[in-house]
Structures are given as structure tokens and as C-alpha cells.
Amino acid sequence: MTLVSSFSSGLKAAGALALFAIFSAQAVPAEEPSRIVSIGGAVTEIVYALGQEDRLVARDSTSNFPAATAALPNVGYARTLSPEGVLSVAPDLILASEGSGPPETIEVLKQAGVSYVEVPEIYSADGVITKIKTVAKALDQTEAGAALITQVSADLSAAQDLAQQAADGTPQRVLFVLSTQAGRITASGTGTGADGIITMAGAVNAITEFEGYKQLSDEAIAAAAPDVILAMDRGGDHGLTKDSIQSLPALMLTPAAQNGKLIRMDGALLLQFGPRAALAVKDLSQALYGAAE
């Protein structure tokens, strides 16, 4: 039986021991980590913002900003990692966004003799600052971290103030649509990146009855009565256009569809809550309300 099949069969202890035997010679932690794998787009952006990109040896597939990340080896999608893929680049530190997985992989990585730091995933301005603090501490970049926090905090405060001014006490009701696959709408409830950025941009989430993402009935969408549909700027089964929101039975009767109110934004900017979060707030607020003076 291969390592992968034993791992898939749930023999976690055996898989951890086997991988440790393979990679232990490479995975001896250094006093100052110099071979870092970054998992999570915001985490990788913070490493770059701290000027520590030379220490990166790999990143995950959600880490695509700045453009220079494309030159780094890609260890896979943050939520479907394999231990072999991550450990194959001989890291001495793994910086991973909370929610990375699957859990079996994370368990193996934590037992493989490599420093593992989990970066909290909190969808708010304070959450962005917590991420920066966590990464800066792991990289021993206290001074650079403090400077970055000062700048990002100021930018976030200014962006949110402008958003509230633009909303002028009449916030738009926004439905974030994750997918329209097979004509069924999967949308955001509370406790998500979409919910957080909608609130920070001076609007309200049209769906508050559940946490996370869920497929909605046509009746639930009609009852939500969103003024605006928000979606990631992508195509295929997940894409939306003004024509499609006016023709999809689930959306066509909403105020948003009847008024052609669709906003599409880069998903990484919109949902990752990294150093560019203030830009996401500003762009979304301007799309919702126009520029505030």
C-alpha cells in the first residue's frame, strides 16, 4: 500500500511516521526560518509586504498577488493540500491560513519536524491586523510589522469612513453569489469574507439566516430582496452578467436584477482580507454608491 493510499484509508499515524522518515533530514527547523511555504493569499501578500519574499520557497494556488508569486512552486489549493507536496520543498516554516487542509494533511505536517504557524482567518479590519501581527512575529519582523500595521490601519479607517459617508444612512442590501451552477444560487450568509467586506463597504448582507455559504431556494432569494448582486469576476458556470441575472428564475424578480445592479470584482482582492483590504473596501463602496467626497 502506498503512502497516499494508507493516508486516504485513515492510517494517520502510519502516514505521519512514514513521511517523517522521508523528510526528517530536510525538515530540521533553523534558528531563523529561511525556507518558508506560505498557504493562503493574504498570508503570502503579507510576507511580500514585510519585504521577506526572498525566504519563500513555495506558495499555494490562492497566492497570486503580487505577480512575482507566479515564479514560486505551487503546492496546491489551500484546502486540499498533500503532505508530500508541501514537504517536497524542504521547508523549515509553514505559514498557513486558518482553515487550510484537509485536517489529516495538517496533522502530518505538524508532526514532520517543521515549524507550523496558523494565521487566524477573521473577516474584519481587526482581523487583517491580527494576520499581519501573526506573520510578522513568525518571521521575527517586529519593526516592519508595526510599520505595516500603522499604514494598513490608517488605510482601512479612511476607506471605511468614506464608505459610511457614501452610504449616507441608506445602506444597499447586497447578495453575494458564489455560484450559479445548474441554475441554482449558492450565496453567502454571515461569517464569511463576503459578509465582512459588504459590511466594511457600508452595505448590509441580504442574507443573515445562516452562516457560511449555502444553496438558496428561489423563495429565499425573493424574500431577501437584494438591491445589488455581488460576484467574483470569473466565467464558466460560476459567472454572472447583467443579462444572466435578469434571465435566471432565481434572481430575475429581485430589485437587483430588475435594475441591472451587478458588481463583479476580483475574488482575491475582495475576499482574502490581506494588506489590500482597504482597496477592496474602497472599490466596492464606489461601485455601490459612487465616489464619496
Q: For the chain, what is the domain count?
A: 2
Distance CA 18, CA 13 (A): 9
pLDDT value at 10 more than 90: no
Residue 47 lies in a domain: yes
In this structure, the answer to whether residues 188 and 271 fall within a common structural domain is yes
In this structure, the answer to whether residues 8 and 111 fall within a common structural domain is yes
- Residue 291 — very low, low, confident or very high, per pLDDT cuts 50/70/90? low
The least confident of 11-20, 91-100, 176-185, 269-278 is 11-20
At residue 182, the pLDDT reads: 84
**Coil, helix or strand for 230?**
strand
- Residue 242 — very low, low, confident or very high, per pLDDT cuts 50/70/90? confident
The least confident of 6-15, 41-50, 70-79, 191-200 is 6-15
Q: Residue 66, preceding bond cis, omega within 30 degrees?
A: yes
Residue 91 lies in a domain: yes
pLDDT value at 169 more than 60: yes
Q: Which of 88, 103, 119 is the last residue of a domain?
A: 119
Distance CA 215, CA 179 (A): 9
Residue 202 lies in a domain: yes
Task: Give the residue among 85, 78, 121 at the shortest CA–CA distance from 103.
Answer: 78
pTM of the model: 0.86
- Residue 16 — very low, low, confident or very high, per pLDDT cuts 50/70/90? very low
In this structure, the answer to whether residues 89 and 192 fall within a common structural domain is no
Rounded alpha-carbon distances, angstroms, from residue 172 to 80, 103, 128, 244: 35, 38, 24, 21
Check: CB of residue 171 under 8 Å from CB of residue 202: yes
Q: Which three cell numbers stand for residue 11?
A: 492510517
In this structure, the answer to whether residues 255 and 192 fall within a common structural domain is yes
At residue 181, the pLDDT reads: 86
pLDDT tens digits for range 250-283: 999 999 999 999 999 999 999 999 999 999 999 9
Average pLDDT of the segment spanning 233-237: 62
The least confident of 25-34, 38-47, 135-144, 230-239 is 25-34
In this structure, the answer to whether residues 99 and 179 fall within a common structural domain is no
Distance CA 234, CA 101 (A): 24
pLDDT tens digits for range 28-76: 444 689 999 999 999 999 999 999 999 999 999 999 999 999 999 999 9
User: What CATH number does the domain containing 175 carry?
Assistant: 3.40.50.1980
Range of the domain at 30: 3-119
Which residues are within 8 A (CB) of 53 and not within 5 positions of it... i.e. 6 or more apart? 47, 68
In this structure, the answer to whether residues 174 and 269 fall within a common structural domain is yes
The least confident of 30-34, 43-47, 168-172, 195-199 is 30-34
At residue 249, the pLDDT reads: 92
| Bigger pLDDT: 33 vs 238 | 33
In this structure, the answer to whether residues 279 and 189 fall within a common structural domain is yes
Residue 51 lies in a domain: yes
Which residues are within 8 A (CB) of 120 and not within 5 positions of it... i.e. 6 or more apart? 98, 127, 130, 131, 134
Task: Give the residue among 55, 63, 49 at the shortest CA–CA distance from 150.
Answer: 49
Task: Give the residue among 117, 48, 109, 98 at the shortest CA–CA distance from 75.
Answer: 109
% residues pLDDT > 90 (the chain): 82
Residue 185 lies in a domain: yes
Distance CA 80, CA 38 (A): 14
Q: Which three cell numbers stand for residue 92?
A: 523549515
